[in-house]
Amino acid sequence: MKRILGICGILLLGCMKLQAQQLPKGKPLFEHVVIIGIDGFSSEGLMKADAPVMHKMIAEGAFKYDARTVLPSSSSSNWSAMILGAGPEITGITSNDWKPDGKGMKPVVVNKVGRSPSIYDIVRQQRPKAEQGVVFHWDDYGRLLQKEMVNHYEHAETETEAAVKFSEYIAAKKPVFALLHLDHVDGAGHKNGHMSAAYLQSIAKADSLIGMVLKSIEKSGMKDKTLVMIVSDHGGINKGHGGESAEEITIPVIYYGQGVKKGYKIQQPVYQYDVAATVAFALNLKVPYSWTSRPVKAAFVGFNEPENLSVGLE
């Protein structure tokens, strides 16, 4: 009898713990999610650049220094992994040569227009009236998503123009989900070399533009309801990227906002495709079975690191 009661007690504690790790049904953790993506932005570059805004976000938020890209460490494969919740072997986006109407590898699972399901798809399906948009600096970013899935789709010629347009969009529409893409850091890496003075200066410029966006979020009355994520597609070595070196595949991720743990260094592995599931988790959306993406719950107050984190490592 005591053994049965003991087992029941263990099961009850397990259920209580599971409930504590879940969101109330229908209630999102955040009302808004804003992603600011910096192309070619390495973890080493973040640590060495003059970037007071991002370092403040790290001190007041959750941070992963060594998040991992998918391979190849090229832009299309990695930006697509972020929004499609899976790597090239599932999405079919294996290089920068990928085109929506091309004859490359077919995705494992396709939506009604023959493409891998994206975070934009599930926002539109599950929150049909939700405002979502994207402003991108790299013109090829636009081909990675279905334009009709977003309310706002805009290309900018410069990084400053992109940040200004994005800030204006935030202020005007208060989107549920929005993404800004900045390309100038990658440009500096290709032209002058990664970790060159010009490269570090480009990160400082990105930092100031992030500050602009954060001010727009605050002025819009969204600050206490918004998760801001700083992400990158890849790092670089010398004047290139695409390979498997630590410099190319190691990228930072910053999570910032009320409800994010303060000054927290994330322990679990974080992969490029986890961006999509983390957005879905923050907005309390169901994700496609085909995704390999998992939410980084440990970044948020009330959620722990995965229990099986050390399995196989001891």
Confidence at residue 18, expressed as pLDDT on a 0 to 100 scale = 38
With a CB cutoff of 8 Å and minimum separation 6, the contacts of 6 are none
What is the percentage of the chain residues whose pLDDT exceeds 90?
A: 88
Question: Is residue 7 pLDDT above 80, yes or no?
Answer: no
Question: What are the residue boundaries of the structural domains of the chain, listed by start?
Answer: 27-299
Mapping DSSP to helix (H, G, I), strand (E, B) and coil, where does residue 27 land? coil
The CA distance from 212 to 126, in Å, is 31
CATH superfamily of 27-299: Alkaline Phosphatase, subunit A (3.40.720.10)
Q: How does pLDDT run across 255-313, given as a tens digit for each residue?
A: 999 999 999 999 999 999 999 999 999 999 999 999 999 999 999 999 999 999 999 99
With a CB cutoff of 8 Å and minimum separation 6, the contacts of 71 are 77, 87, 88, 244, 249
Q: How does pLDDT run across 145-188, given as a tens digit for each residue?
A: 999 999 999 999 999 999 999 999 999 999 999 999 999 999 99
Question: Is residue 218 pLDDT above 60, yes or no?
Answer: yes
pLDDT confidence tier of residue 104, bands split at 50, 70 and 90: confident
Residues facing residue 34 across a β-bridge: 178, 228
Per-residue CA distances from 125 to 10, 71, 149, 237, 287 (Å): 39, 30, 9, 40, 11
CB 150 within 8 A of CB 159: no
pTM of the full structure:
0.91
Q: How does pLDDT run across 57-87, given as a tens digit for each residue?
A: 999 999 999 999 999 999 999 999 999 999 9
Mapping DSSP to helix (H, G, I), strand (E, B) and coil, where does residue 63 land? strand
Mean pLDDT (the chain) is 93
Closest alpha carbon to 41 in 257, 186, 228:
186
